[in-house]
Structure 1
């Protein structure tokens, strides 16, 4: 991903902030990170490569950092995998396991891992000012990498051609590698095919469509069965956009449709506006179309989400960058800056508008239960929940029937005097779930940080289901079994640890309430 932000360290480094270090969200030890890259499962390990500045905690000197995990919760950071140099920055891309040794970089018995990444060529290099796609390969399970000596392997002589996601496409008629990349400033996804990962032929393009007011980045394309039915498979195209997301700044949209090995065709229900949002006549029309677009996350802090290659049992698991380009370089954390979202498993579920994604956080089943209760009548008097625990994440699961209540409110990471806290509320009257971080603690480091996000959420049989993960400096909300997700960063004061639940304007019933700790 590109940025014009200054690549140098701040002249005065902020004091270290260990209280904000997440327990189960990956952060680099003491440097900057952004987009997840090259997500791949191989030989029992999940590999997370990522955009990394090895020399500072703001954007710059782009290289691929590297971490591994066996459970997607606890990560081990390794040395830089693919380093930028005097000719190129190493921008986003993907990794595949070349099982058939189509590239010749490995053997049939010991396949190579092949990284397909964007070379952002610097002034003075042969390809100065362009972005093109290049290869690197590993024959030791992803721990060391060698750049291909004939890079780049695909160029369009473009300054904004980037973020290749490559996958193996198999059908009765064809077997090949397919690349989805973007012409970022044209708001287009471009598709190519290859037999050997080295020589690429153009297939088709898609876009602009829906949220197209900003640059398109970090695409992904994959099949998923609808409601688990292998006879009913749709394809999902993820396209991240910056700026112009539903909550402002950076965000991820998606389309559902069909891919035949050449072209992606979205179903009609995936299109909020056939000609694209930017062609709509006024701000009100654009806002309405944004609400109708399909969003991976309705919060401010989930961007560049892409999925793992070669995941076991054909699971489709994504990770996103938990940040927003509006204020990314100003987050009040040190010595690191930025983290990843939780890993989320994706499924397609049928509904009135067509097949839609649902997301379930990968938690590993190792939570320690702190509270389990049910059938609680809830009014204006707050129901106190277990406090947040320093150094651990907290998982809150609730099923609530709003009943006569006008509003149900969950206060998270709040101070005892009520002056600070992050508020998650639901208004049954308009069916909106709202996450308010305007008084969540440290908010003044950037003018765009103090914000309120909301999403449409309908009750199901009169019930609101919530799964909330709170981890030191973040809140991830999965509503109605993951049909709607909101993710926001928060930076509470050290004394703000209280959690509570209340109802306003009537009586609600808490059918189920479970709180657990995850470290």
Structure 2
């Protein structure tokens, strides 16, 4: 293997965050549920610790907690590398490859260089299929199913079935827009519309990794639903870097089977996660009762220079996505998949005297390999408190309360000795505001990562941070810097 800038502080793997068996990993691909198994494919370079010729790695799980590695699903060929994409269950053999039965169909981008210059390339859409629940894959003999269009960035097909129109829909990232294609048989595709001009956030980098799904609106009318369009915003790897790096935005609106209509085209940027390490998110196809998603727990600003331990890259924990009616409009909310809590046991929490006052602190856990925490509090207006995770203040959440809102910010520290990593990894960021007086926090701390969901009355913030440099066994400390903070409830679990 090559490209090992620095070793991680601990070579122990995360207990619940998926990691590759070796080598480099980035985007989750082809997330699909079939015959009781969750399939996770991923962008994979097995022979190096840096990005390179992209394969599709493959793992399955029945409980979203433990994953079984399977043989490689897709590998580069004369058409090029196998870039990101999606997978669906073809239940009625519309593709005509399953002898009237059902099977899995994967869609991916073939990325082919057109010379020695890596910036000179073309991309087209390909298909592969499996009759044995993903254990073996066959590339379609008639590839490409959508030829290169004459411009460069044309990738990451997300395919869904649109019930009302009775057709399949493919969302494709095309430069800084999303194109929607439609098909009756998964093989023949026609361009239906484009979305993105003067919509959302645009940087020097391309839009990537779209996702599209419909959800009911919790707290709204009984029959209300909305469509969600998720888009990754990439960065120019060699050019000037903005402070956020790569990030994930989303849009709320309506989709008629051909066109996406943004409900609030003038609305501010909607970020799916306020942290630095939540990218290329994809949701599982064919889960019958909920919308589950996983993201790459990294950022393109420093991903290739992050500390490694024989492998580089991790996925976030699975999350359930919902829509909620808030005072700012319909917004995407997230919950950690319920299965995760079944894998840990309660910790005894040290007794505390409520309310905490200035100078008081609560040592929430003495140390464990994996910690799930929940905390409910009602800070008085003017209070300022800090939740520190993973060895002191290396990951710290700051809550500053006003009369009707609470401002949330976070700070992250850490140096590896690699210039690019050390330039972009540390930092402070204002995450946003919560409404109401009561605040509920949920978090998971695993080897090298913190994932936190913070709820106000109707608003929610998600903050995902990779740690990389931090030793395991993490204490969690809540300290009151000013004011008074009544604690309503504290619970901790460990694995």
Contact 1:300 / 1:324 at 8 angstroms: preserved in 2? Answer: yes
The residue that corresponds to 2:271 in the other structure is 295
Are 1:423 and 2:415 matched, yes or no? no
Query: Is 1:452 aligned to residue 428 of structure 2?
Result: yes
In structure 1, how many angstroms separate the alpha carbons of the residues matched to 2:415 and 2:372? 19
Q: Call closer, same or farther: CA 1:72–1:159 in 2, change over 3 Å.
A: same
Match of 2:256 among 237, 254, 260: 260
Contact 2:123 2:155 in 1 (8 A): yes
For residues 33-75 of structure 1, what are the alpha-carbon distances to aligned partners after superposition, in whole Å with 9 as ceiling and x for unaligned?
1111000000000000010002112101101000111111211
Q: How does 1:127-276 map to 2 (within 5 A)?
A: 129-155=121-147, 156-171=149-164, 174-184=165-175, 187-208=176-197, 209-213=199-203, 214-227=205-218, 231-243=223-235, 248-268=244-264, 271-272=266-267
Equivalent in the alignment of 2:471: 494
Offset, 1:491:
3.2
Match of 1:278 in 2: none
Q: Secondary structure at the match of 1:447?
A: helix
Question: Is 1:116 the equivalent of 2:95?
Answer: no
Task: Find the aligned partners of 1:84 and 1:30 in 2 and give their Cα distance.
Answer: 18
Three-state SS of the structure 2 residue aligned to 1:446 is helix
Shift of 1:495: 7.5
Q: CA deviation at 1:492?
A: 4.5
CA distance in 2, matches of 1:180, 1:230: 28
1:436 aligns with 2:414: no
CA contact (8 A) 1:402 1:508 kept: yes
What residue number does 1:368 align with?
A: 345
Partner of 1:378: 356
Given candidates 470, 483, 486, the residue that maps to 1:506 is 483
Contact kept, 8 Å, 2:445 with 2:474, in 1: the verdict is no
Which deviations, in whole Å up to 9, do the C-alpha atoms of 1:284-330 show, x marking residues without a partner? xxxxxxxx3111101000001111000132x1111100100000011
* Range moving further from structure 2, 35-44 or 403-412: 403-412
Whether the 8 Å CA contact 1:476–1:487 is kept in 2: the answer is yes
Query: Which of 296, 299, 306 is 1:331 aligned to?
Result: 306
Equivalent in 288, 303, 306 of residue 312 of structure 1: 288
Conservation of the 8 A alpha-carbon contact between 2:29 and 2:86: yes
Contact (CA 8 Å) 1:374, 1:511: kept in 2 or not?
Answer: no
Is the CA contact (8 Å cut-off) linking 2:448 and 2:472 kept in structure 1? Answer: no
Structure-2 residue corresponding to 1:3: none
**Post-superposition offset of 1:506:** 1.7
Aligned twin of 2:323: 348
Whole-Å separation in 2 of the counterparts to 1:304 and 1:271: 24
Contact 2:278 2:298 in 1 (8 A): yes
Q: Cα deviations across residues 176-235 of structure 1 (Å, max 9, x unaligned)?
A: 110000112xx1000000111111011000013121123100001111111176621111
Following superposition, the deviation at residue 402 of structure 1 comes to: 1.2
Aligned with 1:142: secondary structure? coil
What does residue 445 of structure 2 align with? 470
- For 2:389 and 2:87, the matched residues in 1 are separated by 38
1:282 matched residue in structure 2: none
- Secondary structure in 1 matching 2:478: strand
Farther off after superposition, 138-147 or 79-88: 79-88
Q: Aligned equivalents of 1:493 and 1:41: distance in 2?
A: 34
Judged with a 3 Å threshold, the aligned counterparts in structure 2 of structure 1 residues 363 and 384 are, in CA distance, closer, same or farther, namely same
Structure 1 stretches lacking a partner, 5+ long: 1-7, 273-291
Shift of 1:122: 3.0
Q: CA deviation at 1:121?
A: 1.8
Q: Secondary structure at the match of 1:457?
A: strand
Q: Is the 8 A contact 1:19 1:472 kept in 2?
A: no
CA offsets, 1:394-419, max 9 Å, x none?
A: 1110011111553111111125xxxx
1:374 positional shift: 7.4
Larger deviation: 12-21 or 357-366? 12-21
Q: Does the alignment pair 1:46 with 2:41?
A: no
1:411 is aligned, of 358, 380, 388, to 388
Residue equivalent to 1:102? 94
- CA-to-aligned-CA distance 1:238-269 (integer Å, 9 cap, x gap): 0110139996111110000001111100112x
Over the aligned positions, Cα root-mean-square deviation in angstroms equals: 2.4
Q: Are residues 424 and 308 of structure 1, via their aligned partners in 2, closer, same or farther at CA, if it must alter by over 3 Å?
A: same
Q: Matched residue of 1:399: which SS?
A: strand
Q: Give SS of 2:390's match.
A: strand
The gaps in structure 2 that reach 5 residues or longer are none
CA distance in 1, matches of 2:222, 2:33: 23
Q: 1:88 aligns with which of 80, 86, 100?
A: 80
- 1:59 is aligned, of 47, 51, 60, to 51
